[in-house]
């Protein structure tokens, strides 16, 4: 395989779990060293929290975001340390886009850890707990879902926010709007319309106050042009200008995640293999559904690392 055929992708919220990367941490000192760096930036022992903490604490968005970013960076560093093939593209789902930008050399790791903790706080305070909701919708096409959300928005803001794979879209908004949309979606023939266990309506227009705060935080930060191009959630394209990247990160917080567009763009650029760096294999499953020709690997254990290294060496 050559570099042009490989992309690394980075998971977003929902992939965190207590005990994640435990075997990698035991086998490779660099994994714990990466967590120690993040711990120094935030002032608490992140590895201990990830291995011995409560799942409920890991699920708080201001904790989830730095934890997942750190896990992804740890896996990327390990990949490089083990002589893994350098990818020609990177992408990340929502929070994962920050992981991609760190791994691509655009954002300093410690700065990013602090930034995504703040991002989590901004997102949580934009809509008080209990006022927002999200739901996964299976079995309807995108246009139908967008149309039904518009109809349901008379009850409260509700929007299509994650285009994850064909036939799988996440909606979000005010509780009443989401509940009304679920009712209409089921009536329209959705196979499933399930509320998700999240604490805020991410990627909706309700997140604009969080976007304004994130813009202030980013204005004070230094970004570089990525060494490896990153495909952005907002439009499924790459961007090299640091100021444009900052604007995309702000827009992303209150705009839909166009993951289907991201994966289609990577496939159109010649990518044949994606490697998911971090816990779980949510993106690997989505990527395969979007582009059936893709080989989709993930790295979260010594075994999956060895398998990925072997696959790209052929």
203 is catalytic: yes
| Contact residues for 56 (Cβ-Cβ < 8 A; gap 6+) | none
The string over 202-222, giving b where at least 16 C-beta atoms fall within 10 Å of a residue's C-beta and e elsewhere, is: bbbebbeebbebbeebbeeee
CATH architecture for segment(s) 3-126+206-313: 3-Layer(aba) Sandwich (3.40)
Query: What's the pLDDT at 88?
Result: 97
Query: Residue 238 to residues 88, 115, 185, 266: CA-CA distances in angstroms?
Result: 12, 21, 34, 10
The catalytic position among 39, 88, 93, 203 is 203
Average pLDDT, consecutive stretches of 10 residues, N- to C-terminus, the chain (314 residues) = 90 93 97 98 97 91 94 98 97 97 98 97 90 95 96 97 96 96 96 86 96 97 97 98 98 97 97 97 96 97 97 87
- Rounded to a whole number of angstroms, the CA Rg of the chain reads 19
The catalytic position among 15, 88, 94, 99 is 94
Provide the sign of the torsion angle of the four alpha carbons 252, 256, 257, 261, taken in this order. negative
Query: Three-state DSSP class for 22?
Result: helix
93 is catalytic: no
Query: What's the pLDDT at 313?
Result: 87
Do residues 4 and 276 make contact, with C-beta atoms less than 8 angstroms apart? no
Domain ranges of the chain: 3-126+206-313, 132-198
Query: What's the pLDDT at 226?
Result: 98
The reply to whether 3-126+206-313 and 132-198 are identical in fold is: no
For 132-198, the fitting CATH number among 3.90.1150.10, 2.40.50.140, 3.30.70.250, 3.30.460.10 is 3.30.70.250
**First and final C-alpha spacing in the chain:** 6
């Amino acid at each position: 395989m050559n570099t042009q055929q490989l992309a690394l992708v980075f998971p977003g919220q929902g992939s965190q779990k207590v005990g994640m990367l435990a075997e990698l941490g035991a086998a490779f000192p660099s994994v714990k060293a990466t967590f120690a760096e993040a711990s120094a930036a935030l002032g608490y022992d992140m590895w201990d929290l990830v291995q011995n903490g409560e799942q409920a604490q890991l699920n708080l968005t201001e904790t989830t975001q730095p934890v997942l970013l750190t896990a992804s960076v740890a896996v990327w560093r390990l990949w490089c340390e083990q002589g893994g093939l350098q990818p020609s593209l990177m992408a990340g789902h929502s929070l994962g886009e920050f992981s991609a930008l760190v791994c691509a050399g655009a954002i300093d790791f410690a700065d990013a850890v602090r930034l995504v903790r703040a991002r989590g706080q901004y997102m949580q305070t934009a809509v008080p707990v209990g006022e927002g909701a999200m739901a996964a919708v299976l079995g309807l096409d995108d246009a139908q879902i967008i149309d039904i959300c518009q109809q349901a928005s008379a009850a409260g803001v509700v929007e299509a926010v994650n285009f994850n794979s064909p036939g799988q879209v996440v909606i979000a908004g005010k509780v009443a709007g989401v509940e009304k949309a679920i009712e209409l979606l089921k009536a329209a023939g959705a196979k499933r319309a399930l509320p998700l266990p999240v604490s805020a309506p991410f990627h909706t227009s309700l997140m604009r106050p969080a976007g304004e705060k994130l813009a202030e935080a980013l204005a004070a930060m230094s970004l570089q042009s990525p060494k490896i191009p990153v495909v952005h959630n907002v439009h499924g394209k790459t961007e090299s200008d640091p100021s444009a990247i900052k604007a995309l990160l702000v827009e992303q917080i209150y705009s839909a995640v166009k993951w289907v567009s991201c994966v289609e763009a990577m496939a159109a650029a010649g990518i044949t293999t994606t490697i998911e760096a971090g816990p779980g294999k949510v993106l690997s499953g989505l990527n395969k559904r979007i582009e059936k020709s893709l080989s989709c690997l993930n790295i979260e254990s010594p075994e999956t690392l060895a398998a990925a290294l072997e696959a790209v060496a052929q």
